């Protein structure tokens, strides 16, 4: 049984480089399907979600490899097999982003309904409704969505919610549509801007990236390009939360403070001294964090991915905080694991009341998803005794060498295949 074994080892010190953004890289790789030839994506982390996307693209007919510097090269043929199979898509929800590129270029796509982290219902209706407005027709049967069109036609699309993944899918599809597409209430995340930059380098005509209104003038053909993915703000947020929990003085190379303003404001209110630098972000903290209320909201608000990290910091904070989840209804499922470690957290609906305790207690816990898994590892930094976190496969989906980076900062974290003590 693979697990992380964590012990408190005092304040963290040193510097680490933030990996490329998982939530960007996967969409950049899928966008390579829009053009015949080889597209190069740099700053790609070695995580299992990237491996899954490689398998998805390979099943579609692309050839994917890493070069000697670690860049991912996706060679897309003239004619793809526009089918994304169940056994791959069920592993990772982001696989749905191949739907838009396949429809745009091949006018047909058959994609399994997606899987991924289990923290509540996240239907793809918003994707299908928007692509239907561009002229696609869909049928759903036997666990697959099948879409057809002659050529997508530009139109005005109003999203009922600024979904990051839906915006990516529609943006990619609209690049090859006839005429102009306008996406209202579009997601504004840095990763959407990153995708728009790659598509622009491929010959797409896009304006408004980073705002709630995207305008895309369709072109007849795109060409391959090279692009370096933006840094992963969620990994940066995770390492900053580690400083808030364990204390210390840490520098995150490559991190973009402007991509996480609201999160940094929350950490600052907790007492963490955060400073933008020429090379990234520095964070210093000593003592015990202060409790602050948190509500998740679409970007540029506090991202739902940040919430398990903040709840873990609040679990050892001075005072009482109320945390409200406004994105996914089921995203408090890790709270029982924190309670096993002595956290005082009460949940009701989409709210949690967190009463900070002076110290957590090491215990065997299980990661239910990527970000909650990382948060449980961080909880071990503030716990007496030993914490064993199983469900490592979830953490490996989003973090490259997570234990190695924490060790580089002085944390006592190691990966083991041993069975937890007392279990058989």
Active site amino acids: 117
Sheet bearing 344-348, strands edge to edge: 294-295, 320-324, 351-355, 344-348
Helix (H) or strand (E) holding 114: none
Rounded to whole angstroms, how far apart are CA atoms 98 and 394? 22
Task: Characterize the bridge pairing of strands 180-184 and 156-158.
Answer: parallel
How many CB atoms neighbour CB 80 within 10 A?
21
Judged by phi (left if over 0) then psi (alpha if -120 to 50, else beta), residue 393 lies in alpha
What are 389's strand-pairing partners?
Answer: 4, 365
Rounded to whole angstroms, how far apart are CA atoms 313 and 218? 46
Q: Which residue has the tokens 């791959």?
A: 88
Rounded to whole angstroms, how far apart are CA atoms 114 and 93? 5
What are 12's strand-pairing partners?
Answer: 248
Q: Measured in whole angstroms, how far is the alpha carbon of residue 274 from the centre of its chain?
A: 23
């Amino acid at each position: 049984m693979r697990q992380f074994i964590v012990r408190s080892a005092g304040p963290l010190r040193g510097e680490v480089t933030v990996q490329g953004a998982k939530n960007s890289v996967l969409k950049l790789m899928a966008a390579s399907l829009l053009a015949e030839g080889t597209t190069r994506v740099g700053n790609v982390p070695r995580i299992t979600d990237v491996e899954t996307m490689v398998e998805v693209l390979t099943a579609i007919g692309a050839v994917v490899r890493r070069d000697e510097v670690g860049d991912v090269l996706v060679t897309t043929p003239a004619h793809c097999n526009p089918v994304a199979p169940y056994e791959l898509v069920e592993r990772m929800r982001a696989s749905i982003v191949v739907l838009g590129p396949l429809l745009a270029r091949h006018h047909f796509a058959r994609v399994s309904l997606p899987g991924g982290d289990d923290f509540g219902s996240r239907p793809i209706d918003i994707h299908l409704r928007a692509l239907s407005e561009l002229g696609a027709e869909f049928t759903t049967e036997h666990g697959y969505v099948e879409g057809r069109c002659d050529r997508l036609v530009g139109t005005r699309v109003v999203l009922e919610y600024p979904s990051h993944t839906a915006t990516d899918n529609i943006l990619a599809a609209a690049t090859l549509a006839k005429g102009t597409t306008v996406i209202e209430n579009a997601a504004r995340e840095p990763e959407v801007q990153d995708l728009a930059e790659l598509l622009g380098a491929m010959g797409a005509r896009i304006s408004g990236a980073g705002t709630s209104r995207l305008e895309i003038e369709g072109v007849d053909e795109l060409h391959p390009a090279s692009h370096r993915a933006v840094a992963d703000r969620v990994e940066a947020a995770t390492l900053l939360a580690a400083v808030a929990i364990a204390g210390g003085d840490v520098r995150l190379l490559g991190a973009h403070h402007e991509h996480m303003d609201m999160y940094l404001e929350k950490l600052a209110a907790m007492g963490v001294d955060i400073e933008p630098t020429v090379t990234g972000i520095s964070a210093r903290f000593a003592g015990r964090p202060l409790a602050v209320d948190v509500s998740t909201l679409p970007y540029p608000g506090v991202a739902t991915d940040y919430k398990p990290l903040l709840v873990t910091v609040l679990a050892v904070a001075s005072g009482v905080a109320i945390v409200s989840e406004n994105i996914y209804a089921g995203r408090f499922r890790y709270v029982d694991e924190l309670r096993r470690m002595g956290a005082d957290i009460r949940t009701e609906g989409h709210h949690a009341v967190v009463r900070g305790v002076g110290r957590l207690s090491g215990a065997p816990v299980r990661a239910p998803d990527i970000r909650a898994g990382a948060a449980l590892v961080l909880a071990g930094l503030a716990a007496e005794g030993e914490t064993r976190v199983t469900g490592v496969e979830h953490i490996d989906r989003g973090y490259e060498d997570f234990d190695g980076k924490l060790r580089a900062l002085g944390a006592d974290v190691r990966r083991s295949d041993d069975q937890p003590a007392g279990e058989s």
